[in-house]
Structure formats: C-alpha cells, structure tokens
Amino acid sequence: MALLQLKDIGKIYVSESNVAVGIRGVNLSFERGEFVAITGKSGSGKSTLLNVISGMDTYEEGELFIEGQPTSHYLQPEWEDYREKYISFIFQDYNIIDSLTVLQNVELALMHIEDVKARRARALELIDRVGLTSHTGHKGSKLSGGQKQRTVIARALAKDSPIILADEPTGNLDSHTSEEIIELLKEVSEDKLLIVVTHNFEQVEEHATRHVRIFDGAVESDTVIHAPEAHTEAQKPHTDGKNKKASKKSDRKKNLKNGLILGRTIFTAKPRLSLFLCLLMIIGTLGIFLITTLSGEAGTLFEPNYMFRHMDGRVVITTQNGEVISEEKLVQIAEKYGAKDYLRIDSLLDTGSAYFSYPHEGYDRYLFAYPIYGEDFGKPHIGTYPTKENEVLLYLPISYQDEFGKDSLLIDEIKMKDLPIRITGIRYYYDNNIVPSCLFTEEGFRTMTAIEYILNRSSTSVSLSISSDGMSREQGLYGIIPDFDIPADKIYVSDRYYKQLIASGASFTSSFHFNAVYHHFDYYYNDEPTVMHFKRTFGDDSIVIFSEDGSAVRSKDVVMKPSFGNTSSYSPDVLISDELLREIAEEVLEQSYKQASLFFENDAEAHRAAEAMRADGYIAVPSDTEYEPGAEEAIMGVISGLAIALVWFVAILFLAFFINLCSSRALGAFKGDMAIMRSMGIPVQVIRIAMYTRMMLALIPAFLCMVAVAVLIFTSPAMNEFFLYLYAWQYAAIVIGMILLTVMITRKQVRRLFGESVKKSLKGDNAQ
Ligand code: ADP
Ligand code: MG
C-alpha cells in the first residue's frame, strides 16, 4: 500500500474573470523513504500540487489516498487532522510567525513532546542544526530571508510527520547553505516521504530518489534516479487503530497543556495587541460593574413586601376581639409558646424610622434610622452600647464614616426633633444597601415609641385619632390606638388665653380638643419665636394648667401659642412640653395598644408558634408574611422591574457588542499567524484553547482592576457613597458574566478563523 496516492487529481481555479488550470489528471504514488524532486516551469502547477497534497487546498477531481484511505469526502476538521498527522510543510515564502522568536517558532512544531524541558532541548538542537543558534531569541520579524527559511526548515524537521513537503525551500538561500539544507533535509527524512519543488534540479540531483516533471498542470515525466533504501516496507501504518481511544484521551490532555502554553506565548508575543485587549476587558468589566452598582438599588424592587418589619423569629399577635394584651398576659403567652423575648408595644418597629438631625457645615443634615429591638448587628466599631434612655447606638453604612468618625466619634449628639440624644457608639456596614438602624435601651425604645407616636400620628391635633396603618391591612388589626383627648388636668394654657376663654364663657371638659403644637411644628409659624422665646415672652408664671374643676394652676414647663384668632371658630393651639406629651402618649399606648411582638429562635420557629397560637384563637402573623400588593401596585412593580432589567440588559449587550467589535479588529492582525500554525498542522483544538487562553489572560487585569475598585469601595467611605457596595455573589456574577461573554466572543472568532481553508487565510483578506 502506497503511503500517498494521487489518482486523476485535478484542480481548477475559477475567478471572476477567468478559469485557470492548477493541475489536471495527476496520477502519482509515493512511498516512505522517497526523496521526490518536482520541477517545472513557473506556473506549471507545482505549488498547486504540493498544496493539494498538504491538504491546504482542496481538489475537485480524482481522489487522494492516504495509507489507502480516500480523502475526497474530508471537511475542514478532517483536513486539519490529516495535516497534523502527516504533513510538514516548508514554504517558499518563509511562513514563520514574525511576532515569535526563532525558539518559539520551532517549539510550536514540537508540541508532541510533552515535557517542556525536553521540548526546549529538542528545539535548540534543531536550531543548531540549521545554524541559527546565535539567533535563538530573535523575533521572526528581525531575521533575514535566509534565516527565516532556516527557521522554517528547523520547524518542519521538528514535526515528526511521515511527509515533508518543501516548495522551493532553498530559493532564497545561497548555494552553499542550500546544499547544506538539502543534505539536512535528506538526512532527517530518511524514512519519510520528502517532496521538494525546485527550479534548480542540480542542487538535489545527488540526493533525490525520483524526479517528477510537471508541464502545464500535468505530469510530464516521472523517473526514478536512485532506488530508495529498502527499509520502507518494514514501516507499519502511521496510526495504530487499537490505541486510538486511549490516545484520544491523552491527546486531549496534551492539547490542553499545549494550548495553554501557546496561549501564553501568543499573549506575550504581541504586547501591544494584548494590552489593547486587556484595556477592552477592563472597560467591559468595570462597565458591567458600574451598571450593576448603579442598578443595585433597583434590587429593592424585587424584595418582598412584608406586612411587618421582618425580623428573624418575630411573630405579631393580637386577639380576635381586640382586647388590650396586658404585660402579664403577654408574659404568659410568651412562656406558653416558648418565645425567647416579647415586646408589648411594638409599633415603632413597623411605623418607622427615627428621624435624626445633626449640624454639618452650617446646616442640618438628616439621618433616617430604623429603631431596632432585640436584634444585635454586632459590636460597635467605635464606643459602646447605650445604657441610658437618651442614648443610642447607630448602625450606619460605611459612607457615613467620614462624617461620624473612624476611630472616635466626630459627632456625639444627634437630635430627634429637639430632643438631644447621645451617640454612644457606631458600627459601620460596608454595604450601602443596608439602611441605617439605631439601637436604644429598652427604656429608650419605649420613649422613642411614644415620641414617634406623637410626632408621626398626632398631626397637630391632640385628638389623636389614629386610623389603621400598613401593618394591619390584611389581618383586621384595625384601630389599635383609639381616639383620645388630652386629659383636662394636663392642659396648659396661658393666662391671657385663659382670661379670653373665661370671658367667652367656654367651659372645659376632658373632651375639649386642642391643637397641640409640639416643638417641631415651629416651622408652621416660622415668623414666630421658638419655645424658649415663648417662655421669655410670657414668663414662667404666665402659664397655667387647667384642672378638672376649671381652676388654673401655674406651671413652668408649658407655654401656649399667643395668637389663635377667633376662639369660637378655631381650636386653640397649645404648646406643651415633650415630657408631658410623652407621658400622655405612653399612657395612651399602655391603655389601648392591642398588638404585641413575640420573638422566637428563628423564622421556622416563629411559623410553628404562630400556627399554635392561631389554633388557640389568636391572630398571629410571622413577620415574614407578605401582603398581596394591589393590582395597580403590582403592575407598577412589574413595569419598573422590567424597565430596569431592560436597561441592564441593553447596557450589557452594548458592552458585549463593543468588546466583540474591537477584539475582532485585533483578530485580523492575528489571522496570518493562525493560518501558519494551522498549516504546520498544530491541532485545531490547541489553537482554539490558545485563543481562549489568550482572551482569558486578557481578563486577568480586568479582574484585578475590579478587585482594586472593590477594595477602594470597601475602604473608602467616600467611594462607598458613589458606588454601592456589592455582595460577594455579585462580584462572582460579574466575573462569571465576563468569562461567559469572553467565551462567546472567542467562540465566534474561532469559528470565523476555522471556517475558511488555510490557503485562503494564508493569503489574507484580498483572496476572498
Ligand atoms: P507553480 O508553483 O508551478 O509556479 P502554481 O501551482 O502556483 O504554479 O500555479 C498553477 C496555475 O494555477 C497557474 O496558472 C496559476 O496562475 C494558477 N493559480 C495558482 N493559484 C491560483 C489561485 N489562487 N487563483 C487562481 N489561479 C491560481
Ligand atoms: Mg510555485
């Protein structure tokens, strides 16, 4: 069986203007050990013949057999395999990779040697053989024509393939070197099939075993000069069918390793291109990062709507008939259902935020913080836990650090309206998604509850008629706080007003409604003096307290707004002290608040307990119970959610498009090199892995940049204010996203690169 057999092979070149015959009716058969010299005039089809044999160009007619196997049905991948297995090619026009050194060029062809050191040693040996040792580290672009060709020959020799094809290999070498090279070729191809196209037959005459003359695309003559040495028949087929499966697996491992090495090589070989790629990746990664942090707040859209402030293990209870649950009763309930803690008046948890103010650079800044109860978010970074009623521990996002201090408190007093509250400590979060919270003492919490109750619910009327609020929407916990009037014995009115009232003949009962003017409502009367001023205007003794029987008692701590128009049509405004107001609120809450919270180990426990309580007739709602949004709310939620998702998606798409566009420009510069590698028979898989490796390497600086930005955000409160802190999983998502994006782009490039024949890519774009 012949190693290589051509049967009636024909190749026609069809272009727009004309049809050229490359070769026609070629019948040739080659064996191992032959040294075939092919000669012929320029344009006779020698190169075409070699290209067909090498599998770099397709043939239209006839059949090419390799080890007896037909090849006419081969597609690109099969030709790649074919080249890898059988062909080494020495080109006429020095196809070496300019960006790689001589050593790297030769090493490319030595991928079958697994051990990297052995590979290097062999490469150096071959380089020495072609006389290029002094140029080992030189880049291809820096070599002379002769040196390039020697490199190519060294490379061709490096590949352990049964067929070596050389198209005018010595065309650019001086005669002395040419002879040396031919000798070298002969020497290393002893048991191989060596086909050399040459216009200088004398040069090879001494060594060639056969001479094929081509004329006008056809074989003119085919003469044996010397018989090849007799070891050819002893050759076994190049591949061993039995071991194919086992070797496939090790092939894959080998290819992976080679691909990684090649990827690194091509990455470092073109530093400017790689830098450009890195830059692209940095832009892409930081871009996605930016989009993610900016759309971070949109994430809250997807958070569940809990009926109550969700706290792990919290259950909200009330009774079916709306009785007030006394402290005693609550203790019993807590014990019965195994709660670890309870809170009798829990309205503050659900109604809101403590609304603090503090002076900053000449104006007032505001801080909204959720009062927390029982929850401990960890030890303060600065200071201690609160111990007094008017003290607070703040849990703040790190962006507040610049204002509130890093190692010591820069602000130690904060005001809740006019009530001064001392900050005892702060704990920071590296997360701007966390809302500020504040921790009071138990007593402080109760006080805050009362104040919050007065401030947020009373409006200006002391007739505190409280309607239902969010927490009771679904559960029928309506009217937990009833209307109430200021007890008559606690009403404070100025002397003058008292006189007016007496003159008008009005009588005071406990149901008389006054408008309470609490300190913070000062701004309604912004042309009027503050509390202190009132006090000065009236003098302490101008303030009176009405008692039940209508007698007035002077008091120091309350003032009254002096002007209130016509008493018959306006309710009088009364300014009362926060102390009193708080007292009233606490009393009212105590007497009428019909809801309470119980705290269990966790939500699972809470659910179990709630079920048991419901079975016993309570209304019990675990705090992670969601309420159904109304139709309108639901639709708005979906629309805004979709809009944000769309923006995010479009932004990412744009980035992907951008990276793809730029990197395919970079691909153009790369095409020729890839074609050379392919023509050398480097497995597609290796090139593919190399391309992925190169792109992945380009991603590394981008990820480092992101880590740097993350660290910056993590450590700099100022940055933290601009860029939302992302969670570890979000960083992971960005990394995975970028990798996926890169894989997709690389895959597209690989497809494009391998979609065309080697010859076409070798010729570059103008051949298309
Ligand atoms: P040689 O190598 O013997 O000089 P070639 O094999 O390069 O000759 O060319 C053989 C014939 O095929 C010539 O007529 C040449 O013009 C034609 N030919 C070669 N390559 C192409 C091509 N890519 N497109 C069109 N015609 C081609
Ligand atoms: Mg030619």
DSSP string covering 241-286: GGGHHHHHHHHHHHHHHHHHHHHHHHHHHSHHHHHHHHHHHHHHHH
List C-alpha distances in Å: 389 to 420, 576, 601, 758: 11, 21, 27, 83
Q: Are 362 and 429 in contact (CB under 8 A)?
A: no
Atom of ligand 1 nearest to the CA of 45: 6
Q: Which ligand sits nearest to residue 168's alpha carbon?
A: 2
Residues 274, 279, 281: CA angle, nearest 5 degrees: 95
CA 751–ligand 1 middle distance (angstroms): 28
Q: Which two tokens stand for residue 27?
A: 């019948």
CA 198–ligand 1 middle distance (angstroms): 15
Confidence of residue 248 (pLDDT cuts 50, 70, 90): low
Does some domain include residue 306? Answer: no
Mean pLDDT of 585-593: 73
- Output helix, strand, coil percentages for the chain, rounded to the nearest 5: 50, 20, 30
- 106 has a pLDDT exceeding 50: yes
CA distance 185 to 190: 8
**3 state SS of 576:** coil
Looking at residue 764, its pLDDT comes to 47
Looking at residue 510, its pLDDT comes to 29
CA 43–ligand 1 middle distance (angstroms): 6
Confidence of residue 734 (pLDDT cuts 50, 70, 90): confident
Does some domain include residue 127? Answer: no
- 296 has a pLDDT exceeding 80: no
Looking at residue 56, its pLDDT comes to 86
Instruction: Answer with the residue of higher pLDDT: 392 or 556.
Output: 392
Q: Does ligand 1 come within 6 angstroms of the Cβ of 47?
A: yes
Q: Does ligand 1 come within 6 angstroms of the Cβ of 42?
A: yes
Does some domain include residue 398? Answer: yes
Residue 78 CB contacts under 8 Å (≥ 6 apart), including other chains: 71
- 696 has a pLDDT exceeding 60: yes
Whose alpha carbon is nearest atom 16 of ligand 1? 43
CA distance 372 to 445: 8
Beta bridge partners of 439: 372, 393
Long-range contacts formed by 331-338: CB under 8 A, 24+ apart: 333/598, 333/613, 333/618, 334/598, 337/598, 337/600, 337/609, 337/612, 337/613, 338/600, 338/605, 338/609
Q: Are 517 and 561 in contact (CB under 8 A)?
A: yes
CA 669–ligand 2 middle distance (angstroms): 26
- 120 has a pLDDT exceeding 80: yes
- 34 has a pLDDT exceeding 90: yes
Strands 419-429 and 391-397: parallel
Q: Which two tokens stand for residue 370?
A: 């959720």
Q: Which two tokens stand for residue 462?
A: 């002391």
Lowest mean per-residue pLDDT among 218-222, 641-645, 695-699: 641-645
Q: 């992945």: which residue's tokens?
A: 696
Q: Does ligand 1 come within 6 angstroms of the Cβ of 48?
A: yes
Does some domain include residue 110? Answer: no
Give the DSSP H/E element, type plus range, for residue 220: strand 218-224
CA 675–ligand 1 middle distance (angstroms): 19
Does some domain include residue 685? Answer: yes
Q: Are 221 and 39 in contact (CB under 8 A)?
A: no
Burial class (CB in 10 A: 0-12, 13-18, 19+), 496: middle
Q: Which two tokens stand for residue 529?
A: 């003096």
Looking at residue 303, its pLDDT comes to 67
Highest-confidence segment of 18-27, 373-382, 574-583, 633-642 = 18-27
CA distance 506 to 502: 6
Q: Does ligand 1 come within 6 angstroms of the Cβ of 15?
A: yes
Q: Does ligand 1 come within 6 angstroms of the Cβ of 18?
A: no
Best mutation site among 9, 12, 13 for ligand 1, i.e. most ligand atoms within 8 A of its Cβ? 13
Are 462 and 327 in the same domain?
no
Name the residue type at position 258: N
**3 state SS of 715:** helix
Instruction: Answer with the residue of higher pLDDT: 53 or 569.
Output: 53
**3 state SS of 226:** coil
Highest-confidence segment of 57-66, 166-175, 355-364, 566-575 = 57-66
Query: How many independent structural domains does the chain possess?
Result: 5
Confidence of residue 301 (pLDDT cuts 50, 70, 90): low
CA 40–ligand 1 middle distance (angstroms): 13
Are 703 and 748 in the same domain?
yes
Looking at residue 626, its pLDDT comes to 75
- 23 has a pLDDT exceeding 90: yes
Highest-confidence segment of 27-31, 431-435, 497-501, 734-738 = 27-31
* Residue among 747, 742, 756 nearest 671 (CA): 756
Of 408, 440, 472, which one is at a domain's C-terminal end?
Answer: 440
Q: Which ligand sits nearest to residue 214's alpha carbon?
A: 1
**Inter-helix orientation angle 442-457/578-592, to 10°:** 100
CA 49–ligand 2 middle distance (angstroms): 9
Atom of ligand 1 nearest to the CA of 759: 23
pLDDT in tens, 477-536: 222 333 334 444 444 444 444 555 555 544 433 233 333 433 333 333 333 323 332 333
CA distance 157 to 98: 19
Per DSSP (E only), the strands in 119-201 are: 163-167, 193-197
Of 440, 470, 489, which one is at a domain's C-terminal end?
Answer: 440
Q: Are 100 and 670 in contact (CB under 8 A)?
A: no
Q: Does ligand 1 come within 6 angstroms of the Cβ of 20?
A: yes
- CATH number of the domain residue 40 falls in: 3.40.50.300
CA 227–ligand 2 middle distance (angstroms): 27
What does R_g of the chain's alpha carbons equal in angstroms?
45
Mean pLDDT of 387-408: 89
Are 269 and 359 in the same domain?
no
CA distance 156 to 89: 6
- 69 has a pLDDT exceeding 80: yes
Q: Does ligand 1 come within 6 angstroms of the Cβ of 46?
A: yes
Does some domain include residue 309? Answer: no
Per DSSP (E only), the strands in 466-519 are: 491-494, 515-516
CA distance 741 to 479: 56
CA 73–ligand 1 middle distance (angstroms): 24
CA 688–ligand 1 middle distance (angstroms): 31
Atom of ligand 1 nearest to the CA of 167: 2
* Residue among 167, 192, 183 nearest 85 (CA): 192
Lowest mean per-residue pLDDT among 317-331, 560-574, 681-695: 560-574
Q: Which ligand sits nearest to residue 44's alpha carbon?
A: 1
Q: Which ligand sits nearest to residue 46's alpha carbon?
A: 1
Are 460 and 557 in the same domain?
yes
Looking at residue 373, its pLDDT comes to 84
Mean pLDDT of 137-142: 91
Instruction: Answer with the residue of higher pLDDT: 458 or 633.
Output: 633
Within 507-572, residue ranges assigned H as helices are: 531-538
Could you report how far apart the first and last alpha carbons of the chain are, in Å? 38
CA distance 351 to 558: 28
Are 727 and 603 in the same domain?
no
Best mutation site among 11, 48, 89, 199 for ligand 1, i.e. most ligand atoms within 8 A of its Cβ? 48
Q: Does ligand 1 come within 6 angstroms of the Cβ of 40?
A: yes
Residues 547, 549, 553: CA angle, nearest 5 degrees: 35
Does some domain include residue 735? Answer: yes
Are 647 and 547 in the same domain?
no
* Residue among 416, 46, 462, 385 nearest 216 (CA): 46
Q: pTM of the predicted model, to two decimals? A: 0.60
Strands 87-90 and 163-167: parallel
Q: Are 691 and 746 in contact (CB under 8 A)?
A: yes
Are 670 and 616 in the same domain?
no
Looking at residue 426, its pLDDT comes to 94
- 476 has a pLDDT exceeding 70: no
Q: Does ligand 1 come within 6 angstroms of the Cβ of 215?
A: no
Q: Which ligand sits nearest to residue 93's alpha carbon?
A: 2
Q: Which two tokens stand for residue 618?
A: 């309570």
Mean pLDDT of 695-720: 85
CA distance 204 to 27: 23
Looking at residue 538, its pLDDT comes to 33
Are 33 and 154 in the same domain?
yes
CA distance 645 to 302: 11
CA distance 123 to 135: 13
**3 state SS of 492:** strand
With a pLDDT cut of 90, the percent of the chain lying above it is: 24
* Residue among 698, 673, 695 nearest 108 (CA): 673
Q: Which ligand sits nearest to residue 760's alpha carbon?
A: 1
Q: Are 57 and 51 in contact (CB under 8 A)?
A: yes
Looking at residue 229, its pLDDT comes to 64
CA distance 416 to 444: 12
Instruction: Answer with the residue of higher pLDDT: 139 or 619.
Output: 139
Whose alpha carbon is nearest atom 1 of ligand 1? 43
Are 616 and 658 in the same domain?
no
Of 610, 627, 644, which one is at a domain's C-terminal end?
Answer: 627
Phi, then psi, of 750 in degrees rounded to 5 = -60, -45
With a pLDDT cut of 70, the percent of the chain lying above it is: 74
Are 727 and 665 in the same domain?
yes
Burial class (CB in 10 A: 0-12, 13-18, 19+), 647: middle
Q: Does ligand 1 come within 6 angstroms of the Cβ of 44?
A: yes
Beta bridge partners of 224: 210
Give the DSSP H/E element, type plus range, for residue 383: strand 382-383
- 330 has a pLDDT exceeding 90: yes
Q: Are 327 and 593 in contact (CB under 8 A)?
A: no
Are 36 and 181 in the same domain?
yes
Per DSSP (E only), the strands in 646-705 are: none
Lowest mean per-residue pLDDT among 83-92, 307-316, 464-473, 655-664: 464-473
The boundaries of the domain holding residue 481 are 449-594
pLDDT, mean over the chain: 76
Does some domain include residue 540? Answer: yes
Q: 């380089």: which residue's tokens?
A: 127
Are 375 and 417 in the same domain?
yes
Q: Does ligand 1 come within 6 angstroms of the Cβ of 13?
A: yes
Confidence of residue 216 (pLDDT cuts 50, 70, 90): very high
Whose alpha carbon is nearest atom 18 of ligand 1? 22
Looking at residue 479, its pLDDT comes to 26
